[in-house]
Amino acid sequence: MNRLADIHAKKTIAYEAEIMERGDVRAVGKEQVIALTTSDFLSNEALEEKNSGLSAWEQATEVLQLTQLGVDRSSWAAFWVTEHGYLCYANEGACQCLGYSRTQLYQMNIGDIDSEWGAAKWDQWWAAVKLRGSLTLETEHQRADGTAFPVELTANYVELKGSAYLCCFARDITKTKQAEVEWRHQQERERLVGAIATKIRQSLNLPEILQTTVDEVRQLLLTDRVLIFKFNPDWTGTVKVESVGQSSFSILEEIIYDPCFSEEYVRQYQEGRVRAITDIHSDGLDECHVKFLSQFQVRANLVVPILFNQELNITTNQQQLLDHQFSGYNVANSQLWGLLIAHHCQETRQWHEWEMDLLKQLATHAAIAIQQSTLFERLQLANRELELLATSDSLTGVANRRMFDEHLNREWRRMMREESWLSLILCDIDYFKRYNDNYGHQAGDACLQRVATAIRDAVRRPGDLVARYGGEEFAVILPNTNRTGALQVAEAIRMSVRDLGIPHCASGVAWMVTLSLGAATAFPSPNGEPEMLIAAADQALYEAKAKGRDRLAHSTLQRR
């Protein structure tokens, strides 16, 4: 039998295989084809039955005919390849998949439709299939129009009538691959949304949450710029967060005014509208809108509103906030806070449904994070106000007695560790009872407020504390301050109050409100207590009053 390689080398034309009783290469005019005989598919026992006139021969012939018919009409591509890589048989499925006629395919090498099986690697593939007997893999076939498509190829090694072939079946797996890509996208979307949701539950770091959102979206969508835009009351706005590629410029913190942005856009976004623009030049946009987007290099964009639910109040339960948000927005109670925007700058882009769904999900999560942060800030402010009420004097605004006691004990321990001086000044308004009796309690309250402010202004260091110690008494705690420093601060306080010039006609010292001050300085030690410093300052204050008021006295506790 002539070798099939010689047949193709001579560029002869082969058509369909014929079923013949003689097993050879049969010439039909200029045509030469592989001839498969019924004998090729029969055992010796079946051949003996044939020769004896039994029906096994007829049955085998029928099976062969049905097999040939099934292969020819299969939607899978089926073809036989010679040892030298030439196609010697192809079914109708192969013709439809590849876009070639059988005449064309019979003149082609397997490398013409699959570069992986070309001349450079053919010997390796042939040897691998021969060794294993059968090999299944994923590869790509190329159509007559030049397009490529993925296939699952099974190659079987067959020896027939002294020649070897690969009997191949190829299944188009384009839809399978598309489903795999969609599945990966779905997995990535779920991972991203889950990660953002987890961050919201575990963190109150809003900048980190929003930056992660735009970074992940840009990477997943393979786009040029993703940003979060916050509206101002006049519908201008600011780019608050941005992720931008190297080929585009940054617009972070830029204040943006869109002359085309009308109340109609506000209403549509308020209702949850998503705006997807494939090409700003062909999607029917107003000229002003095209000009506006062009200045930011935008060719296509995807815009999703960030909506707040106005029904929510301050809560410390993050899960409660999440559950409320995911129960669905009531449009009537939603507030348009801003926009989550993806910019495609280099070329046009057809946005897919899954990309829109992703941005809608992330816009919801961004709204949760922003609103949660806003509510938490309000809660912190409320807590600070409560703390201030608990630690400050309601009339004068300086620290109250409770805060004074806590601060003095804390500073005593700290100065003991640091082996440094601690000073205390007690201030008493001279003849304040006479002031109240003469000017009234309302004027007395105003006087206390002004004196407290004057004392606070004279005490400049952040670590120092001014407190209301009693009715008309104030105290000043001065860490890291020795005797000299304490006297300087005390004198500054005395003069600051005199400079107020508050009239006090009932004073026995001067025509104005004045202070008497007692200062004490200690070097805290384990053998001492803060109360000793208070007692020393109180004794110094008594001394200042005894010497005529409107003056200061000092006492230093000896080290123990």
CATH number at residue 532: 3.30.70.270
Point out the residues that are catalytic: 472
Structural domain of 349:
178-379
Last residue in a domain, options 109, 140, 172: 172
The Cα-based distances of 66 to 33, 63, 135, 138, 480 in angstroms read: 19, 5, 25, 29, 105
- Number of folded domains that form the chain: 3
481 part of a folded domain: yes
Give pLDDT tens digits for 398-419.
999 999 999 999 999 999 999 9
393 part of a folded domain: no
248 part of a folded domain: yes
pLDDT at 197: 77
187 shares its domain with 253: yes
Last residue in a domain, options 172, 189, 212: 172
31 part of a folded domain: yes
Decide: 67 and 36 in contact? Cβ < 8 Å.
no
334 shares its domain with 413: no
333 shares its domain with 448: no
146 shares its domain with 187: no
Decide: 360 and 351 in contact? Cβ < 8 Å.
no
Report, as ranges of residue numbers, the positions in the chain whose pLDDT lies below 70: 1-73, 310-333, 559-560
406 shares its domain with 280: no
388 part of a folded domain: no
pLDDT at 245: 93
The neighbouring-strand residues paired with 231 are 237
pLDDT at 76: 86
Q: Interior CA angle at 81 toward 78 and 84, to 5°?
A: 165
CATH of the domain at 15: 3.30.450.20
Last residue in a domain, options 149, 172, 195: 172
Give pLDDT tens digits for 288-347.
999 999 999 999 999 999 998 765 544 434 444 444 444 444 555 678 999 999 999 989
pLDDT at 193: 81
360 shares its domain with 471: no
Half-sphere exposure of 83 (CA within 13 A, CB side): 13
111 part of a folded domain: yes
325 shares its domain with 186: yes
262 shares its domain with 340: yes
78 shares its domain with 196: no
407 shares its domain with 494: yes
38 part of a folded domain: yes
245 shares its domain with 301: yes
Helix locations, 74-205, DSSP H: 92-98, 102-105, 110-113, 119-132, 174-202
CATH of the domain at 365: 3.30.450.40
66 shares its domain with 105: yes
